[in-house]
Each structure stands twice: as C-alpha cells, then as structure tokens.
Amino acid sequence: MKISGFIDSHLHMLGLGYYSSLVDLSQSKSIKDIQSILKNKLAEKIIIGKGWNQDQFIEKRNINKSDLNEVSNEIPIVLTRACGHVMVVNDRMLELANIDETTPQVCGGDFSYSDGIFREKALILIKDKLNRPTKEEIKKYFIKANQILIKNGITSVASDDFLTFDIPFQEIINIIEELYDNNLLQVRITEQVNLPKTKFLEFIKKGFVNKRFNNKFKMGPLKILADGSLGARTAYLSEPYSDDLNNYGINTFSDDELYEMVHLADKNHMDVAIHTIGDEASQQAIDAIKKSLQITKRENHHHALVHAQLTRKDQILEMKKYNIGAIVQPIFINTDIKIIDGRLGNRKSKVYLFKTMDKLLPLGFSTDAPVEPVNPFYNLYSALTYKSLKYPEYPSLNPSQCFTLKEALKAYTGNNLQFVYERKSDLSDYIIIDKDINKTDINKLKDIKVLQTYIDGKLVYSRNKKTL
C-alpha cells in the first residue's frame, strides 16, 4: 500500500547515528555475555557500549569496573546503562579521566571509584574526557541516521544536532551540505537550531536565519530547552512531585532569560521550538512567546512547545489564543507509563492531553530519537492506544486521549509540514508498506514493514535491494 512519507518533527539525527554505532548490550542476559561481546572489540582504541540492564543479569548483581578490567586494562571501556543515566567504566578510563579516591563528588550526581559506577550529573566527568568525534565520524553518523530513517519510511525530519558534540555549528552545516552534494543523504533535514545565546548571535550575524542550503536542507526554529525530564524529576512543575514533595523540578532559564532568547529569534523572523515537559516550564514558554508577539506582531509564526507532556487544559487554551503549536511524542508513553503514577499521583489524567491539543492547535508527532525508537508504527500504536509496547501489562494511560488512525496519520504527515517549513504540493515523498494500514489490527501496527521509500519521486530505499 502506498502512503505519504512520515515527517518526524523532532529528533536528533547526529545522536541517532552516534547511538546506533555504539556496542549494543541491550540483549545481554549476563555479565559474562557482556564480557564476551567486549572481548571481540579489543582492536578498537576505545570501547563505548550502551543498553546494559542489571535486572536482566543471571548473576543478580550490578556490573562493575573489575568485570571490565578482566576484559582489558589497556583499552578504555565506557558502558552506559539502558536508561542513559548510569555508566560503568574500567580503570584505564578512570585514569584517562584523572579520577581517583580523592576526586570530589559532583553536585546532582555521584560516583563510586571502587565500582567504577557513575550516576546522573557525575557522567560529565567521563563524557568530557571522551574524544570529540572527527569529521569523518560525524559524516558516518549522519549517513547511518539517514539509512535508519529511510528504512523506517521517514522522508523528512526536524533535527536538533548543534549541541550533540562540542563542535562549531558551522562545521556541522558544512558536513551536512557536503553529504548532500555527494548524494550521501536523501532524507530532508530542517535543523532545529539549538545554540546558547552567544553562538546564536553569531548565527544571526552570519545570515543563517531561515537559510535554505538546497531543496532538502534548511535552517528551522531556534531550539530552547526550558526544563529537564520526568524520569529524572527535572521537569519543572507547578506542584511538587508526588514522590518527592519538596521538589518542583528545574527550570533552565529565569523568565527574563527565556524571554530574551525567544524575542531575539522572534524579532529576526525566526520561530522557536521550546522543550517543556513540566507545566510550569510550559507556562514560562507561553508567557515568553506571548510577550514577544505583543511586540513583533508576527502573524504567520510557527512557534511551538516540544513535548508539552504535562501542559494543562487552561494552558492549551492560552496556546490556541496565540497559535502556539505542539510537537509531541506519544511514544514517550512507552517508557513513562511506569513512572507517571509515582511522579504525578492523581494528576495522571491531566497529562499527555495530545488529542485535546490536536483539536485546538497545530500539532505534530515525533519520536525524539534516539530517546525512543524512530519507528513511526510504534509511535502510531502509542497514539492509538496510549499503551506501552515495553510494558504491555499497564492499562491505557488515558483512553479519552486516544487518536483515530486518520488523526494520527495526519499528525505524522500533513500537520508536520509546518514544522519542517514545507508545502505538500512541493513534495513527492511516499512509501510503500507491506499491509493495508486501514485494515490492520491495532496490535499488529508495530509489525508493518516499509518495502520502499521515495523522496522527490526517487526510490531511495528498497527492502529487497538494500539502500540505493
């Protein structure tokens, strides 16, 4: 069956390519398993792995640095847990990072020198010491991400890549342009410009605002992070966390600082896409946009909140008034379903109001990959059921918010055009899937396979012939 290519309106291409190039430990059922996988990688200069989970280990204990030292004392080894918030490293890596028994702990995190285990903000001690990737590696990551996307039927993305590594934004732009010139990228990219203020001023000065580099690659909105995440209890809430009564989460900016960034973009005719998860962060963002629009009087803007998981009904009405859109990820339910009760208690029915938003606001779907899988059919399942593929034992988070297939497909295609600054009439992007999606049972949606992907009318992926 032929359907429109999917548009993912918020993900991290560079992060996706990088993440998928790491040694995958997610299927490991024991520490022994992990050791044998690592032993096959001893030709590398450094081994970076991801996805381990001690709950799956037959040894019934955490992995620690002695387990890694047994594999190698010469090659640094860094393994991130499935959640992304914990790492284990070997002695060689500790040495490279200049960490010993006397190293002070980091605020907002902790580490154990004897176990080689690092948590939360302490990860920075290791991350800072990992080499920044070379130009060739960055290219490889983009190419890899491009392959993953077209294989999944995604033909266009809004991608946030400037802060993935400590690399000047112009270098990233040059690399992407070069890849297109050499025909190594096919997916359309609208860059979500994630930059701190000083760099953003440079970006404006160099004339990059809304710049189109070719018919597939352009600069999009300024991406701003206003708070953290629900899992880490850093989403900024108006009421404290139900499982941590003194904690309201963390706001990244003061009201004035946030307004300053928003207005800087807005007065330069550039939109903003603001990461807000908690309702208080959403309020800050709405207020900042509102205040700026009162001055700029821009009418055809596409300002949006990204995530908006805990945005309340009264806030949605306020968003409607100022035509602020929402870029949301139903697939987050996949992981969050397990923690929502604890974090939010009886506020549970007032979150993820995506269907309410869809009726009132410009709303588009995305995955935030590599945070969640990029597969659009998983995301559609979440939108249609508000259930989790990972934890199927949990009932629907909020049945009244479930989308119909038609609504969900629209949020994933037509609605998303505005967030990638395209018009349907200019695109000839479509995919061929192996089933009639309209007749597929909801529980089987996740099994739909993409047979072919066409961008600009050209075949760019075929399941039988590999990538063209």
Closer to Zn ion by CB, 194 or 440: give it.
194
Closer to Zn ion by CB, 13 or 361: give it.
13
The nearest distance, CB 367 to Zn ion, in angstroms, is 9
d(CA 147, CA 136): 17
Phi, psi at 432, each rounded to 5°: -110, 125
Closer to Zn ion by CB, 318 or 368: give it.
368
The nearest distance, CB 368 to Zn ion, in angstroms, is 4
* Amino acid (1-letter code) at residue 157: V
d(CA 329, CA 369): 10
Tell me how far CA of residue 15 lies from CA of 12, 18, 98, 141, in angstroms: 5, 5, 26, 8
The nearest distance, CB 226 to Zn ion, in angstroms, is 12
Neighbours of 382 (CB within 10 A): 29
Q: Which residue is nearest to Zn ion (CB)?
A: 368
Closer to Zn ion by CB, 159 or 385: give it.
159
Give the x-and-dash track for 313-352 against Zn ion (CB under 5 A). ----------------------------------------
Closest among 266, 268, 279 to 237, alpha carbons compared: 279
The nearest distance, CB 468 to Zn ion, in angstroms, is 30
Tokens of 280: 């208080």
d(CA 369, CA 294): 34
The nearest distance, CB 15 to Zn ion, in angstroms, is 8
372 touches Zn ion by CB under 5 A: no
Closer to Zn ion by CB, 156 or 452: give it.
156
Phi, psi at 242, each rounded to 5°: -65, -25
Tokens of 190: 């609208």
Per DSSP, the three-state class of 79 is strand
The nearest distance, CB 308 to Zn ion, in angstroms, is 13
Part of the chain binding Zn ion (CB under 5 A), chosen from 81-89, 258-266, 368-376, 422-430:
368-376
Give burial (CB, 10 Å; 0-12/13-18/19+) of 321: exposed
Interface with Zn ion (CB under 5 A), residue from 271, 368, 372, 407: 368
For Zn ion, the binding residues in 10-39 under the rule CB under 5 A are none
The nearest distance, CB 8 to Zn ion, in angstroms, is 11
Closest among 383, 336, 388, 393 to 357, alpha carbons compared: 383
Closer to Zn ion by CB, 368 or 429: give it.
368
d(CA 68, CA 70): 5
Closer to Zn ion by CB, 91 or 227: give it.
227
The nearest distance, CB 328 to Zn ion, in angstroms, is 12
d(CA 89, CA 115): 9
Binding residues for Zn ion, per CB under 5 A? 368
